[in-house]
Amino acid sequence: MSLNLGVLSIQGDILENILSVQSAINALDINGTVTSVRTPDEISQVDGLIIPGGESTTIGQLSLANGTLKILKEKIEQGMPVLGICAGMVMLSKTAQDKVVGKIDQPLLEILDIKLERNSFGRQRESFETDISLTSLGIPTFNGVFIRAPSISDVGSDVEILSKFNEKIIAVKKDNIIGVAFHPELTTDTSLHKYFVNLANTLKN
Ligand code: GLN
């Protein structure tokens, strides 16, 4: 059966992720498709999902309003693989607060036991790129693109730390859930998307 992957298409880097997943599917020669999903019905049909970077307050409020947040949480709890990128990782977190303004009332999935600091590396003008590594995923070097990126200040005992930059945790994994602070879809390197497609394919079969 074909692997049916989705990119949550409420706000953010949607098209870039669709293109990266499509490249990964092609490179891996997997029988699969990737579509843009937004409604609870569309989400119920995917085998794996990327929550893209963008603005977590917007993604949270709109997904709460149309019932998407609820089904997303249920499906991830049932084991659906999910890759949360930047704002997507904020959405997955149990607790999040902004480095400058502190805690605000924003809807989160609260499914990944991490304590997250939003905009941890500064504002838009402090965006940067740097080499990072995701050794345990078989990715020794990766170009990390950080745009108003979060970092993780604490993880639950069962959450694996995948990468750190300047002593800050920037990538984590727990079973079917991966969160990264940087934007892999803004590079030409599809290694991380390939890892995710492979994970989804393995969990489906
Ligand atoms: N700072 C944004 C947030 O907290 C995330 C930025 C991004 O996804 N590039 O939602």
Class of CATH domain 3-204: alpha beta
Tell me the CA distances in angstroms from 197 to 30, 32, 77, 148, 159, one per residue in order.
9, 9, 19, 26, 20
Annotated domain spans of the chain? 3-204
Model's pTM, two decimal places?
A: 0.98
Is residue 76 exposed (0-12), middle (13-18) or buried (19+ Cβ within 10 Å)?
Answer: buried
pLDDT digits (tens, 9 = 90+) for 107-131: 999 999 999 999 999 999 999 999 9
Looking at residue 1, its pLDDT comes to: 78
- Which atom number of ligand 1 is nearest to the Cα of residue 147? 9
- The chain-wide mean pLDDT, for the chain, equals 97
Looking at residue 132, its pLDDT comes to: 98
How many other CB atoms sit within 10 Å of the CB of residue 205?
7
Closest residue by CA, ligand 1 atom 8? 53
Question: Ligand 1, residues 147, 182, 183: which to mutate, most atoms within 8 A of Cβ?
Answer: 147
Q: Average pLDDT across each block of 10 residues of the chain; the chain has 205 residues. List them in order.
A: 96 98 98 97 98 98 96 98 98 96 94 98 94 98 98 97 98 98 98 98 90
Please state the separation of Cα 197 from the chain's center in Å.
13
Structure tokens at 108: 């989160």
